[in-house]
Amino acid sequence: MKNLLGIYEKALPDLSWEERYRMAKDAGYDFIEISVDKNRLNKLDYTDEEIEEVKKAASRHGMSLETMTLSATRYFPLGDEEKREEGIKITKKAIVLAKKLGIRLIQLTAYDVFRLESTEKTRRLYREGIEEVLKFDEDYGILLAIEVLEDVPHFHTSKQLSSFIREISHPLLKEYADTGNVIYNDVDPVEDLKEGIDVIEAIHIKDAVHHDEHNVPYGEGKVDFEAVFDYLKEVNYQGYLVSECWYEEDYTPDIRFINDFIRRRML
């Protein structure tokens, strides 16, 4: 396999971009997956000078700019009547930023609403929002990949999400799979990947147990990584792979160990 392996920005401490790229490179990664969450919305207003700083920091360490997670739309879901316009605005700004940075893929959230009841109407509004940002994106050409999410009942498996993506049938709309998010609901990651492999462009590689996918140490959860990578080799998967974990006050991920853990199974 010749897939690029990235590390999620939030797996690293809050450092300058120069220091982040140095740390990620030293640990063996090919790129950093840039995060735009509710606390990082300022990135969407980066000046040209700030954009150049990110690009030059990556280049100095021989790393590429590849993917972005747009998790901020969890709080501005595209199916929420009161918040969807802000969510659409945020998504369009993220597309513009990705183009300026040279990022090729943005991970979108699957939330039609957040902490509210999903209805036929909110799911319809979500679809309309996705179609609107896709139309906008046609001038930019950034892949938009919706992530399988453990807490979205109608999109918590690849079977569900890939069906939605095939129905829309737009060349810029893809799936972002996640080995941990499906284990959360006791779904076999390999069988799950099979359901959407034709539309999957990126995969979060993380461990998990039933009802817990947050910082479960690699190799200590229920994900059968050998089986996952055997399948990806079998189908000659050529998309992105990203280690998703979180650097927190009480948890420091060993990103070098994680890189080695994943790459041994990529071979």
Radius of gyration of the chain (CA): 17
pTM passes above 0.95: yes
- Residue 191 class from Cβ within 10 Å (0-12 exposed, 13-18 middle, 19+ buried)? middle
Q: Tell me, what CATH number does 200's domain have?
A: 3.20.20.150
Please report, as a single letter, which amino acid is at residue 16.
S
Mean pLDDT of 13-29: 97
Sequence-distant (6+) residues with CB within 8 A of 39 are: none
114 close to 122: Cβ distance less than 8 angstroms: no
Which residues span the domain enclosing 97?
Answer: 5-266
- pLDDT, tens digit, 9 for 90 and up, residues 147-191: 999 999 999 999 999 999 999 999 999 999 999 999 999 999 999
Half-sphere exposure of residue 83: CA atoms within 13 angstroms, side-chain side: 18
Of 22, 36, 175, the C-alpha closest to 103 is: 36
* Whether the predicted pLDDT of 113 surpasses 60: yes
220 close to 261: Cβ distance less than 8 angstroms: no
Per-residue DSSP letter, 217:
P
> Number of helices (H) and strands (E), helices first, in the chain?
9, 10
Q: Helix or strand or coil: residue 117? A: coil
84 close to 128: Cβ distance less than 8 angstroms: no
- pLDDT, tens digit, 9 for 90 and up, residues 186-239: 999 999 999 999 999 999 999 999 999 999 999 999 999 999 999 999 999 999
pLDDT band at 2 (very low <50, low <70, confident <90, very high): confident
What whole-number distance in Å separates Cα of residue 222 and Cα of residue 33? 24
Per-residue DSSP letter, 110:
-
Mean pLDDT value across the chain: 97
Residue 157 sits at the vertex; the CA angle it makes with 155 and 162, to the nearest 5 degrees, is 75
> What total of structural domains would you count in the chain?
1
